[in-house]
Amino acid sequence: GAGVSQSPRYKVAKRGQDVALRCDPISGHVSLFWYQQALGQGPEFLTYFQNEAQLDKSGLPSDRFFAERPEGSVSTLKIQRTQQEDSAVYLCASSSQAPDTQYFGPGTRLTVL
Amino acid sequence: SQKIEQNSEALNIQEGKTATLTCNYTNYSPAYLQWYRQDPGRGPVFLLLIRENEKEKRKERLKVTFDTTLKQSLFHITASQPADSATYLCALHGSSNTGKLIFGQGTTLQVKP
């Protein structure tokens, strides 16, 4: 079956632009996570959804970051007024329940110039 | 403050030898710990999960130990192969029931033929 997919795989933005990153989780997975991974570092938690409810957004670095999952499946991470420090790989993961094994997508590499 | 540490230096070993990777943590009482493999340009892939009441877990050539007194997990790959070359990440679940993972920075393993 299909795994977690993310799009786009690569995104280049000029500083100040808004970006939207999409995640398609494994069908039927209740839990969805977003992580940010800087070069040479492990992933860092951003936010968590259980179905359409955003239950934990403690990792979002600023109010420029916003995530949604309106129908409990596809999720979008939006970054407004991007800054150079937002450059990173953004990973999405899903699991059938929390806590449980998480299945990661390939990530979106965001480069802010 | 809470901290997870993995060997930041790359581990280079000869094919056929056993690779041992270390994960140390402080100021956590994780219910369980997971190990993931990450290849360049890809998302992490789940390998093993071990619970706080388990001392050791095995899967094929992989073995994980979990010592809650020492606050340490060891990850072993026996009879290593060049295809095992990758970055290995340890991840903890905290007391939160959201399933949020806290990752170490990862250790890069290079197995030479």
**Strands A88-95 vs A75-79: parallel, antiparallel or unpaired:** unpaired
Q: Does B108 touch chain A (CB under 8 A)?
A: no
CB contact under 8 A, B99 and A55: no
Q: Does B31 touch chain A (CB under 8 A)?
A: yes
CA distance B25 to A94: 25
**Strands A10-13 vs A108-112: parallel, antiparallel or unpaired:** parallel
Please, what sign has the CA dihedral across residues B37, B34, B103, A64?
Answer: positive
Q: What percent of chain B has pLDDT over 70?
A: 95
Residue bearing the bigger pLDDT, A71 or B29: A71
CA distance B71 to B90: 13
- The residue among A3, A106, A8, A36 whose CA lies nearest residue B43 is A106
pLDDT digits (tens, 9 = 90+) for B43-57: 999 999 998 889 899
Q: Does B10 touch chain A (CB under 8 A)?
A: no
Nearest to B43 among A41, A48, A91 (CB): A91
pLDDT digits (tens, 9 = 90+) for A43-98: 999 999 999 999 999 999 999 999 999 999 999 999 999 999 999 999 999 998 76
pLDDT digits (tens, 9 = 90+) for A13-54: 999 999 999 999 999 999 999 999 999 999 999 999 999 999
pLDDT at B93: 81
Residue by residue, DSSP assigns B2-50 as: -EEEE--S-EEEETTSPEEEEEEEES---SEEEEEEE-TTS--EEEEEE
pLDDT at B94: 61
A85 three-class SS: helix
Structure tokens at B18: 């056993």
User: Which amino acid does the sequence have at A30?
Assistant: V
Residue bearing the bigger pLDDT, A74 or B94: A74
What is the rounded radius of gyration, in angstroms, for the C-alpha atoms of chain B? Answer: 14
Nearest to A100 among B43, B99, B105 (CB): B99
